[in-house]
């Protein structure tokens, strides 16, 4: 993520020289200055920097010399913030961190997220809103590090998005009793849902309803796709559905059942579906087999090739059977593989059965 430029910052490297004091201070902290020059030289050109002060704040939180150097190498723009700004951010993150030990660990892992402090008031308002909503602090810290953009929104926008989701959940037949759990689960799975617009949500739900999906089925798709459906458009969904309809040569009703079984048919773009389908066909798998177990299209071509290779080594012919053994998560596959392996290794006779001996 690019660092927002303040009006006092400049990237004009021709007319400026490196700040010697900054260089010396970084050098004394064992920071790799060559790395900063290569990635973000503009930081070294600024007239004002707070190297020792920011290092001091990090050390106060428990960071050792190596950790301080790593943070400043990965996020050198940290030294352009005042100690007061960084301490304000520190107090903000402490609202959701168990202690400073956890906080410094997060800063070491995600320095860019921590040192983006331009939206301080929005960040604070959103943290408090998420807490009121019922999200646990460990989920909020995950959002701060992996989806920091959602905190830059004005809190009113996030509230509006949550209200839109709640309204649609109820209109699709969801119950008041389950609504809070549904919303919290959806947010935990996909916080980026908050970056969408209310209009986009409405358009996507209407598209599904116009294509014959019942309210209950739409709710099923929302939960199955973990909210990622809102990052699509009616046009992309239409193209993906048309592709599947042509490939599997099915009518509208059959297509709907295929999508309900494998929502990836709706989610993935045509080029992705094409590539995965071709990969399966090259392995000698038929379209009929894929239609029977469409979930295999959720897997990348590389994963499919790896799994087929492992099964073939056991003498299992994927072309003549179902694709169930290829399916699922890594854990699911290991279970299937283990069963096939143990079946192959099992002796053809029962060693504990009594032996019949003729007189």
Q: Write the DSSP assignment of 312-346 as a string of letters.
A: HHTT--TTTS-SGGG-S-HHHHHHHHHHHHHHHHS
Number of structural domains found in the chain: 1
Q: Who has greater pLDDT, 335 or 155?
A: 155
pLDDT above 70 (res 359): no
Q: Answer yes or no: is 82 within a domain.
A: yes
Q: Answer yes or no: is 109 within a domain.
A: yes
Q: Answer yes or no: is 113 within a domain.
A: yes
pLDDT in tens, 23-74: 999 999 999 999 999 989 999 999 999 999 999 999 999 999 999 999 999 9
What are the tokens at 209?
């309803």
pLDDT of residue 210: 93
Averaged pLDDT, 100-128:
93
By C-alpha distance, which of 187, 188, 169 is closest to 178?
169
Instruction: Give the burial string for 60-89 (b: 16+ CB within 10 Å, else e).
Output: ebebeeebbbbbbbbbbbbbbbeeebbeeb
Pick from 170-174, 190-194, 214-218, 345-349: least confident: 345-349
Q: Cβ contacts of residue 197 below 8 Å, gap of 6+?
A: none
Query: Can you give the residue range of the structural domain that contains 66?
Result: 17-117
Q: How big is the CA angle at 297 (ends 314 and 253), to the nearest 5 degrees?
A: 125
pLDDT of residue 206: 92
Q: Answer yes or no: is 236 within a domain.
A: no
Q: Answer yes or no: is 268 within a domain.
A: no
Q: Answer yes or no: is 91 within a domain.
A: yes
Percent of the chain scoring above 90 in pLDDT: 67
pLDDT above 60 (res 204): yes
pLDDT of residue 340: 81
Q: Is the pTM of this model over 0.75?
A: yes
pLDDT above 50 (res 335): yes
- Average pLDDT of the chain is 87
Reported as a pLDDT band with limits 50, 70 and 90, residue 15 is very low
Q: Answer yes or no: is 99 within a domain.
A: yes
Question: Do residues 111 and 74 lie in contact, with contact meaning Cβ atoms separated by under 8 Å?
Answer: yes
Q: Answer yes or no: is 25 within a domain.
A: yes
Helix spans in 45-195 (H): 51-60, 65-74, 83-93, 100-109, 111-114, 120-133, 137-146, 155-171, 176-189
DSSP assignments along 153-200, one per residue: S-HHHHHHHHHHHHHHHHHTT--HHHHHHHHHHHHHH-GGGGGS-HHH
Reported as a pLDDT band with limits 50, 70 and 90, residue 347 is low
Reported as a pLDDT band with limits 50, 70 and 90, residue 238 is very high
């Amino acid at each position: 993520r690019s660092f927002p430029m303040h009006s006092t910052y400049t990237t004009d490297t021709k007319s400026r020289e490196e700040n010697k004091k900054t260089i010396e201070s970084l050098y004394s902290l064992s920071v790799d200055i060559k790395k900063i020059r290569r990635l973000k030289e503009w930081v070294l050109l600024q007239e004002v920097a707070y190297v020792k002060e920011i290092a001091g704040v990090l050390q106060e939180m428990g960071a050792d010399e190596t950790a301080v150097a790593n943070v400043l190498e990965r996020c050198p723009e940290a030294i352009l913030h005042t100690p007061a700004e960084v301490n304000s951010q520190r107090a903000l993150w402490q609202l959701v961190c168990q202690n400073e030990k956890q906080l410094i660990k997060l800063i070491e892992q995600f320095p860019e997220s921590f040192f983006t402090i331009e939206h301080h008031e929005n960040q604070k308002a959103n943290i408090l809103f998420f807490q009121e909503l019922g999200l646990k602090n460990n989920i909020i810290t995950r959002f701060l590090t992996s989806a920091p953009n959602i905190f830059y929104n004005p809190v009113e926008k996030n509230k509006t998005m949550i209200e839109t989701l709640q309204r649609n959940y109820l209109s699709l037949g969801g119950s008041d009793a389950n609504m809070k759990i549904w919303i919290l689960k959806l947010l935990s799975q996909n916080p980026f849902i908050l970056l969408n617009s209310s209009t986009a949500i409405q358009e996507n739900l209407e598209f599904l309803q116009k294509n014959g999906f019942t309210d209950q089925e739409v709710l099923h798709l929302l939960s199955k796709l973990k909210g990622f459906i809102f990052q699509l458009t009616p046009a992309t969904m239409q193209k993906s559905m048309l592709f599947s309809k042509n490939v599997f040569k099915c009518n509208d009703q059959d297509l709907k059942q295929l999508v309900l079984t494998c929502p990836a048919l709706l989610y993935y773009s045509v080029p992705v579906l094409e590539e995965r389908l071709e990969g399966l066909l090259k392995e000698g798998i038929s379209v009929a087999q894929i239609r029977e177990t469409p979930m295999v299209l959720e897997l990348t071509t590389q994963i499919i090739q790896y799994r087929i290779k492992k099964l073939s080594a056991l003498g299992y012919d994927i072309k003549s059977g179902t694709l169930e053994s290829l399916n699922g998560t890594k854990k699911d596959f290991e279970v299937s593989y283990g069963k096939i392996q143990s079946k192959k290794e099992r002796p053809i006779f029962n060693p504990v059965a009594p032996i019949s001996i003729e007189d």
